[in-house]
Amino acid sequence: MSLMIMFSVLVALTFSVTVICDDVRERRILLSDPDYIQQELHQIQVKLQEYDALKTEVTSLRSTVNELLAKKAGEKGVVYVRWGRKDCRGNGTELVYSGFAGGSNYQHTGAAAEYVCLPPDPLWGPHKDISSYAPAFMFGAEYEDPDLFGMPNRNEEVPCAVCRSTSFSTSIMIPARTTCYPGWEEAYTGNLAGGYYDHAASSEYVCVDEHPQTLIGGGTTDDNGKLFYQVRTRCGSLKCPPYEEDKVLSCVVCLK
């Protein structure tokens, strides 16, 4: 190695050592400087405050998310009518009210088709006593098939229960089934009911619970009104099989 190169290396090493020593000396001076220490402590305090503020914000956001999730869960629910019963069954289901099945008279050609569940505690509006030019009518309902519904006679009156499930968001009545399809949970099962085919009034199909109850005080008089009949199959446009001729149809109400 030439003298020139050795001299250059020596100079570089000397410079590096000098820089390191100066940096160490400067740090020692700074660490012994009260102003420098105070400045560093202040920076640490600022960082801690920023951390605390960030932690508080995260906690607030987490609380907001939990509130939104709780609200979302609270909004979940589905309402259905359990025909022929005064109560609701499990499945996270609550009773909204227990009432009286009703609807239009089976003889009226202008009758409304649907069955309704009337509450037991009506509140009358301001027009309760006005005269009427051309009214619709609301009647109670009776079972018209004592064998199917297990009634002592044809004059028993029909209860109903409006139920709300907070565990599900959808309900469906499936005719001709006694169990739900996979992925659905049973609310109740029973027998399909509707109006008599030769009556003047239109009707609809509803599912009457397999263990129907009656209203207290009914059954002594044949008041008619809205009527519940069994529903039987007729082959032709209805494919047989899988269906069979002149059989009583069951039903099930399912939740999801």
Per-residue pLDDT of the chain (256 residues; tens, 9 = 90+): 554 554 454 444 444 444 444 554 555 555 566 776 777 778 888 877 887 777 777 777 776 665 565 455 556 789 999 999 999 987 688 999 999 999 999 999 999 999 999 999 999 999 889 998 889 999 999 999 989 998 888 889 999 999 999 889 999 999 999 999 999 999 999 999 999 999 999 999 999 999 999 998 777 788 889 999 999 999 999 999 999 999 999 999 999 9
What stretches of 76-99 show up as alpha helix (H) in DSSP?
none
pLDDT of residue 207: 97
- Residue 70 CA to residue 26 CA, distance in Å, equals 59
Alpha-carbon distance of 250 to 252, in angstroms, equals 7
Amino acid at 165: S
If DSSP codes are grouped into helix, strand and coil, which group holds residue 163?
strand
Nearest CA to 224 among 120, 104, 130, 64? Answer: 104
Residue with token string 């739900």: 180
pLDDT score, position 8 = 52
Encoded tokens for 26: 């400067």
Length of the chain: 256
Whole-number pLDDT of residue 67: 59
CA nearest to 195, candidates 227, 233, 157: 227
Name the DSSP class of 105. -
46/192 Cα distance (integer angstroms): 73
What's the confidence (pLDDT) of residue 48?
A: 76
Task: Find where tokens 């640490």 sit.
Answer: 44
- H-helix or E-strand spanning residue 32: none
Q: How far apart are CA 157 and CA 221, in angstroms?
A: 10
pLDDT at residue number 3: 46
Do the Cβ atoms of 177 and 251 come closer than 8 Å? Answer: yes
Buried b or exposed e, range 69-94, using 16+ CB within 10 angstroms: eeeeeeeeebebbbbbbbebeeeebe
Separation in Å, CA 190 to CA 33, 103, 164: 89, 21, 19
pLDDT of residue 17: 43
Would you call 192 helix, strand, or coil by DSSP?
Answer: strand
